[in-house]
Amino acid sequence: MKPPHPLPDTAPDHVFDTPTRPEQALHYRWNADPNPLHLDPRVAAKAGFDRPILHGLCSFGCAAHALLAVLCDYDADRFGAMDGRFTAVVYPGETLRTEIWRDGSFRTRVLERDKIAIGNGLFRQRETA
């Protein structure tokens, strides 16, 4: 296992908030993940969650959108790669705040519960000619 990327000890240079919708997990099941953990309250409760959780793909996509907006000015040609660690679940309907540093470090926080959902993130821009 590779070591986690250390985040800077300073406040982030940018923040980007992304609200999720209460029914968002229902849409994400079309990405070939029909796991009932994302849809069925009984299955989620058996797994120890208050309610169905959002797909990691969705949470990661929200972070990617924030990085694309802030560090690439929505120029997809500049988007290289991103890496991070899932550290907490996200429930549909919660707001994700991606905190971004100029060096490409990032983390994504669930505002309603003040939990880090994606930690130790690192974004690298693609070299363009």
Mean pLDDT of each 10-residue bin along the chain, 129 residues long: 93 98 81 82 95 93 98 96 97 97 98 98 88
pLDDT score at 24: 86
Active site residues: 33, 38
8 A C-beta contact, residue 84 and residue 119: yes
pTM flag (> 0.85): yes
DSSP codes joined into one string, 61-91 = HHHHHHHHHHHHTT-GGGEEEEEEEE-S---
pLDDT score at 13: 98
